[in-house]
Amino acid sequence: MQNTLTLIFCLLASAVFSQSGRYCAAVSPEVITSIPVTEYAQSRDIITISVIFHVVWKEIEDNISEEQILSQMQVLNDDFRAQNDQSNVLFGFQDDIADTEIEFCLAQRLPNGMATSGIIRTQTDENIIGLKQVLYTTSPAVDSEHYMNVWVADLGGGLNGMASFPGTASPDKDGIVIDPNYVGTVGLAEDAQPYHLGRTLTHEIGHYLNLIHVFGPTTGGTCTSDDGVEDTPLSENTYLGDCPTGIEFSCESSDMWMNYMYFTDDACMSMFSNGQKARMIATLENERIGLQNTEGCLSVSISDLDEDAFNFQIYPNPTIDFFEIKNLSSSSTPFDISLYSSEGKMIFEQESVRESILLSLENYQTGLYFISIKTTEVEKVVKVVKL
Binding residues (CB under 5 A) for Zn ion: these are 24, 26
Active-site position among 204, 230, 343, 377: 204
Residue 4 to residue 136: CA distance in whole angstroms: 14
Shortest distance, position 202 Cβ to Zn ion, whole Å:
11
Nearer to Zn ion, 116 or 200 (CB): 200
Shortest distance, position 97 Cβ to Zn ion, whole Å:
20
Selection from 284, 275, 291, 288 nearest residue 35 by Cα: 275
Angle at 144 between CA 143 and CA 148, to 5 degrees: 115
Residue 232 to residue 275: CA distance in whole angstroms: 8
- Return the CA Rg of the chain: 23
Shortest distance, position 339 Cβ to Zn ion, whole Å:
39
Nearer to Zn ion, 26 or 284 (CB): 26
The answer for residues whose C-beta is within 8 angstroms of residue 271's C-beta and 6 or more apart is 82, 86, 89, 93, 96, 97, 98, 256, 258, 259, 260
Shortest distance, position 184 Cβ to Zn ion, whole Å:
18
Nearer to Zn ion, 25 or 69 (CB): 25
Shortest distance, position 114 Cβ to Zn ion, whole Å:
34
Q: Across the strands, what pairs with 315?
A: 324
Nearer to Zn ion, 262 or 323 (CB): 262
State the residue number with the nearest CB to Zn ion.
24
The number of CA neighbours under 13 Å toward the Cβ of 379 is 12
Residue 199 to residue 230: CA distance in whole angstroms: 23
Nearer to Zn ion, 24 or 256 (CB): 24
Shortest distance, position 209 Cβ to Zn ion, whole Å:
12
Nearer to Zn ion, 26 or 178 (CB): 26
The answer for residues whose C-beta is within 8 angstroms of residue 145's C-beta and 6 or more apart is 171, 290, 291
Nearer to Zn ion, 220 or 344 (CB): 220
CA distances 244 to 143, 237, 249, 338, Å, are 40, 12, 11, 56
The answer for residues whose C-beta is within 8 angstroms of residue 117's C-beta and 6 or more apart is 66, 106, 108
Length of the chain counted residue by residue: 387
Selection from 383, 380, 387 nearest residue 319 by Cα: 387
Angle at 194 between CA 62 and CA 11, to 5 degrees: 75
Nearer to Zn ion, 238 or 342 (CB): 238
Shortest distance, position 207 Cβ to Zn ion, whole Å:
6
CA distances 121 to 161, 176, 190, 367, Å, are 19, 16, 21, 8
Known catalytic membership, residue 204: yes
Shortest distance, position 225 Cβ to Zn ion, whole Å:
14
Q: Are 129 and 98 spatial neighbours (Cβ–Cβ below 8 Å)?
A: no
Exposure pattern of 258-269 as b/e (b: 16+ CB <10 Å)? bbbbbbbbbebb
Residue 276 to residue 97: CA distance in whole angstroms: 10
- Cis check for the bond before 318: say yes or no (omega within 30 of 0): yes
Q: What is the set of active-site residues?
A: 204
